């Protein structure tokens, strides 16, 4: 359910694009992200940092798209977000000496330190590659193809990456004692 909730702005962007075009879809994405944060705040009285970052990026790039009536800005939004994630993972690991992937997953997984570093690096590489792929598609294919990729391609690649990583790490998942 959380996965669908996280995709809420992207799904609404996609639907709005199909019915009303890129500018309406951009406005819907901004509004949906604001609504998402309001809902999380109402339910938990706390909003994750990544959701605030996503709001800032969609508001800046979406706002520029609407103000300048230029869809190039919103096409850059996923790349900026992906690259932010990649840099955050690398910066945190190498400068702050804190592995963010480990922080999120260590309750479910017990991994050797070198494997935590590898997983963190793999995620950083995945996000960096996704940013490059988004820009490649945005500049070399139609806007319609880019919108379809944004929802289906991005989600599909993320699913494949998570499943592949899950299979590799499954031997480290601790079973609950019965």
pLDDT of amino acid 143: 97
Say what the pTM is: 0.88
Closest among 31, 127, 120, 40 to 78, alpha carbons compared: 127
The total of other beta-carbon atoms located within 10 Å of residue 174's CB is: 9
Checking if the pLDDT of 27 tops 90, the result is: yes
Express the helix, strand and coil content of the chain in percent, nearest 5 each. Answer: 85, 0, 15
Q: Can you say whether residue 97 is alpha, beta or left, with left for phi > 0 and alpha for psi between -120 and 50 degrees?
A: left
Distance CA 149, CA 143 (A): 10
Bridge partner list, 102? none
Mean pLDDT of the region 42-56: 91
- Tens of pLDDT, residues 118-161: 999 999 999 999 999 999 999 999 999 999 999 999 999 999 99
The answer to whether 150 and 10 are in contact (CB under 8 A) is yes
% of the chain beyond a pLDDT of 90: 77
pLDDT of amino acid 170: 82
- Tens of pLDDT, residues 69-111: 999 999 999 999 999 999 999 999 999 999 999 998 888 788 8
């Amino acid at each position: 359910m959380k996965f669908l909730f996280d995709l809420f702005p992207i799904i609404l962007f996609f639907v709005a694009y199909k019915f009303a075009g890129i500018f309406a879809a951009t406005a819907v994405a901004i509004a949906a992200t604001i609504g998402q944060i309001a809902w999380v705040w109402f339910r938990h009285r706390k909003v994750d940092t990544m959701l605030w970052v996503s709001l800032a990026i969609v508001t800046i790039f979406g706002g520029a798209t609407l103000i300048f009536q230029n869809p190039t800005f919103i096409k850059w939004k996923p790349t900026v977000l992906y690259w932010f994630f990649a840099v955050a993972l690398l910066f945190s690991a190498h400068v702050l000496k804190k592995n963010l992937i480990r922080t999120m997953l260590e309750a479910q997984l017990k991994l050797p330190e070198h494997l935590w570093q590898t997983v963190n690096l793999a995620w950083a590489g995945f996000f960096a590659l996704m940013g490059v792929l988004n820009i490649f598609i945005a500049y070399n294919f139609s806007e319609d193809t880019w919108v379809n990729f944004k929802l289906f391609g991005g989600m599909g690649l993320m699913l494949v990456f998570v499943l592949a990583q899950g299979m590799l790490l499954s031997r480290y998942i601790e079973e609950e004692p019965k």
